[in-house]
Amino acid sequence: KQEVTQIPAALSVPEGENLVLNCSFTDSAIYNLQWFRQDPGKGLTSLLLIQSSQREQTSGRLNASLDKSSGRSTLYIAASQPGDSATYLCAVKVLIRRQLTFGSGTQLTVLP
Amino acid sequence: SQTIHQWPATLVQPVGSPLSLECTVEGTSNPNLYWYRQAAGRGLQLLFYSVGIGQISSEVPQNLSASRPQDRQFILSSKKLLLSDSGFYLCAWSGQLNTEAFFGQGTRLTVV
């Protein structure tokens, strides 16, 4: 059974810092990995999708990497801003089943 | 472009009452559809997913059921709500296999 772990559970940084969020998964047989953002009381917003054959994806100040063999992904946020404060979730889609398995998320607070 | 609609946004229901949450997707055909539940302080739990009309897979034995009467409509139901059914319910869709998943804005259900 696929398990997804996100460390740390919470993170607080001053504005302007670069930061890294970690995601690990137990079964490397995945279709893809997706990073989401969730604001309090809201749905999930897709940030980046990395296919199993890719190593990284970039969107603006965000860069996500994937090392499928070691079961790890990182989300790098450059020059963090207070508006980046949210919970960040990673999820993997496994080969056998068609649904996403989620980690518990990292709650990020960027202090002005 | 594709959009996903989920309603209602909030719902307060007494124990033992029925439930019907609706989700519709626009701008795509034959999507994979999903219902997730997010309990307070916990990760997302997959409840149901559907790969086509009338095709429903249940992930967790429970008090809920799902139906897909039309290609882009997904309904979550219960005949009698329990207190433990309280939570944040999220509908999502994706294309086939390794495409990106998109979420609705969620329904906050409180059973009293």
pLDDT digits (tens, 9 = 90+) for B39-81: 876 789 999 999 999 999 888 867 899 999 999 999 999 999 9
Chain B residues whose C-beta is within 8 A of a chain A C-beta are 6, 32, 34, 42-44, 46, 49, 51, 59, 88, 90, 92, 97-106, 108
Query: What DSSP state is assigned to residue B73?
Result: E
Cis peptide upstream of residue B8 (ω within 30 degrees of 0): yes
What is d(CA A37, CA A24) in angstroms, rounded to the nearest whole number?
A: 17
Pure H helices in A2-75: none
Tokens for B68?
Answer: 């897909």
Residue of chain A whose alpha carbon sits nearest to that of B42: A104
Q: Is A92 in CB contact (< 8 Å) with chain B?
A: no
Helix, strand, coil fractions of chain B, as percent rounded to 5: 5, 60, 40
Output phi, psi for A83, to 5 deg. -65, -10
pLDDT 10s per residue in chain A (112 long)? 889 999 999 999 999 999 999 999 998 888 899 999 999 989 999 999 999 999 999 999 999 999 999 999 999 999 999 999 999 999 999 876 677 899 999 999 999 9
CB A44 within 8 A of CB A37: yes
| Model confidence band, residue B97 (pLDDT cutoffs 50, 70, 90) | low
Residue of chain B whose alpha carbon sits nearest to that of A92: B98
CB A11 within 8 A of CB A110: no
The amino acid present at A60, given as its one-letter code, is G
